[in-house]
Amino acid sequence: MKKFLLSLITFIIPFFTFAQELSTSERIDLNFKKYTGWFVDGIFYEIPFSESFQIPWVLIVLIGGALYFTIYFKLINVTGFYTAVKVVMGKYEDIEKHGADTLYGDVTPNEQENLIETIRDDSADGEVSHFQALTAALSATVGLGNIAGVAVALSIGGPGATFWMILAGILGMASKFAECTLGVKFRDVGPDGTVYGGPMYYLKKGLAQKGMGGLGKVLAVMFAIFVIGGSFGGGNMFQANQAAAQFVQLFDLQGTSASIWFGIVMAIIVAFVIIGGIKRIAKVTEKIVPFMAGIYVLGALIILIANYNHIGDAFALIFEGAFSGLGIAGGLVGVMIQGIRRGAFSNEAGVGSAAIAHSAVRTKYSASEGIVALLEPFIDTVVICTMTALVIVITNFDNNIIQYGVEVKEGVELTATAFDSVIPHFSIVLTIAVIMFAFSTMISWSYYGMQGWVYLFGRGKVTELVYKLLFCIFIWIGSVISLGSVINFSDAMIFAMVVPNIIGVVILTPVVRKELNRYMKAIKIKHQAIDDGLEDVSKHL
């Protein structure tokens, strides 16, 4: 017995030593990396084109798909922009609720008056408006990537990365258009009006129509698994972790239990919102996103106006750096990769996540929401990311806050320094913005993950409640532990969504084109009827 106890103690001692050397968070992180590292390395594997530069294969798929959709839909990211703005403003809400033929197809003025009196308001399926769907999707993408990610990209790729970032955003508009059109086209609507949509449904139902039902089911299950994993990690724990860190830093609460209480409070607030479903999520995001994005853009505009004499020099530096890459690791290709990577990863065009939020819109024409969705990469990348880049480049002229070519680790701090150099204490506002953006990202990703969850485990209040409770528990976990490998894995799951999604969208592009033609025809019918003397019905709805 003594020998046995001695042997047991000898066996256990290393574990106690290991526990003393590493914290619980570090042990979790180490063990998680041990079992999931292969998946992370596979998703973010960089194809070596030469000794000086490598390109992640998932980035090639994202940008390749975006370029294909841009060409296939004849520059829809440009030609559809003005129409998208009008749709968001509600100019075509009447035909989207009831159909163009019903309201404007070969009717006399008297018949139209009777139609206005008797028509029903519930003829279009869906739960939210175009604007609400857009803000719900934007809330999942606008956030830390725009504030911190851009700073990191500039530190590695220099000012020239901004040019390629903008290009990635413009190309991504076509990807968002295609996947969100399909999201509405193949959505399911429950007996109570609840919408179930996203890549899971257009992969399964859309590919079945093409005679590829088996492939569609496999891709749909893969996507559902990936979106659940991504929602718990990058869409939840990472956001909670960064928000808690910013809160603790702002109020100098290091070494206290502030992170624990912050996580509990955040989980309660998120629970209150997400238990109400997409309608309550949309009501919250339609207020938070415009407000916080507006404050951030306003702060950036103030800095640009205060340094108007440097704006021309900044654009010259951006353009020169985009095509020279002088002094930057990897040269021109290195600059290009950093810019495109930041743009593609920021707006998530091609990932398929946004199609879940956009599929809940009220409309009879699926392409109407696809057109609205193309505004998302424009706002996220072309506007907000570019604003951040310009602020950093311009303030760097006089304050030397960044050395191009030397990677920074804390992008939020660099951006805060740039803002503080012109607007004292704006970093406080920036910290609040980080927390609010993190909150809005969490509530939107909870909806994405839940759609994947019910697809795999069935619909029902109990099934949904289980997911929502788990989601809120992970908020608390994320706020109190270090997440290195956990976040790497969840990020890998988010970008693994690209694979089944792009395959399905490429195969289904003819369906998207058919839906686009159908919607544009409906708009034409309305305009023609009004030109012929009929009244615009939208004034009465």
State residue 3's pLDDT score: 52
What DSSP state is assigned to residue 425?
Answer: T
Q: Span 525-533, mean pLDDT?
A: 77
Encoded tokens for 261 = 């209480």
Encoded tokens for 215 = 């492939």
Of 124 and 481, more confident: 481
State residue 19's pLDDT score: 42
Of 372 and 487, more confident: 372
CB-based contact 178:370 (threshold 8 Å)? yes
Whole-angstrom distance, CA of residue 231 vs CA of residue 464: 14
State residue 17's pLDDT score: 44
CB-based contact 339:146 (threshold 8 Å)? no
3-state SS class at 16: helix
Encoded tokens for 39 = 């998946």
Binned at pLDDT 50, 70 and 90, residue 90 comes out as confident
Does the structure show a pLDDT above 90 at 344?
no
Binned at pLDDT 50, 70 and 90, residue 25 comes out as low
Q: Specify the pTM.
A: 0.84
Does the structure show a pLDDT above 70 at 219?
yes
77: number of CA atoms within 13 Å, CB side?
Answer: 25
Of 264 and 127, more confident: 264
State residue 247's pLDDT score: 81
CB-based contact 247:228 (threshold 8 Å)? no
Binned at pLDDT 50, 70 and 90, residue 71 comes out as very high
Does the structure show a pLDDT above 70 at 325?
no
Closest CA to 66 of 317, 381, 472, 296: 381
Closest CA to 134 of 448, 347, 349, 373: 373
CB-based contact 94:362 (threshold 8 Å)? no
3-state SS class at 344: helix
Q: What is the pLDDT of residues 376-433, one digit of tens each?
A: 989 888 888 888 889 889 988 888 878 887 777 666 777 888 888 888 888 788 888 8
Closest CA to 162 of 372, 428, 396, 376: 396
Does the structure show a pLDDT above 50 at 12?
no
Q: Span 223-232, mean pLDDT?
A: 90
Binned at pLDDT 50, 70 and 90, residue 233 comes out as confident
State residue 528's pLDDT score: 83
Determine what percent of the chain is predicted with pLDDT higher than 70. Answer: 84
Q: What is the mean pLDDT of the chain?
A: 80
DSSP for 292-305? HHHHHHHHHHHHHH
The one-letter code for the residue type at 152 is: V
Surface-to-core class of residue 242, CB atoms within 10 Å of its CB (0-12 exposed, 13-18 middle, 19+ buried): buried
Surface-to-core class of residue 441, CB atoms within 10 Å of its CB (0-12 exposed, 13-18 middle, 19+ buried): buried
Q: What is the pLDDT of residues 108-137, one digit of tens each?
A: 444 555 444 444 444 566 677 888 888 877
Encoded tokens for 251 = 């109020």
Encoded tokens for 264 = 């509990």
Q: Where are the alpha helices (DSSP H) in 374-508?
A: 375-377, 386-399, 411-420, 426-457, 461-480, 484-496, 498-507
Q: What is the pLDDT of residues 437-450, one digit of tens each?
A: 888 888 888 889 99
Q: Span 189-194, mean pLDDT?
A: 79
Whole-angstrom distance, CA of residue 393 vs CA of residue 401: 9
Of 463 and 414, more confident: 463
Determine what percent of the chain is predicted with pLDDT higher than 90. Answer: 19
Of 68 and 486, more confident: 68
Binned at pLDDT 50, 70 and 90, residue 539 comes out as low
Three-state SS sequence of 101-147:
HHHHCCCCHHHHHHHHHHCCCCCCCCCECHHHHHHHHHHHHCCHHHH
The one-letter code for the residue type at 44 is: F
State residue 218's pLDDT score: 94
CB-based contact 373:397 (threshold 8 Å)? no
Q: Span 81-92, mean pLDDT?
A: 88
State residue 117's pLDDT score: 46
Q: What is the pLDDT of residues 347-385, one digit of tens each?
A: 788 888 889 988 888 888 899 989 999 999 898 888 888
Binned at pLDDT 50, 70 and 90, residue 5 comes out as very low
Whole-angstrom distance, CA of residue 403 vs CA of residue 228: 39
State residue 120's pLDDT score: 47
3-state SS class at 99: coil
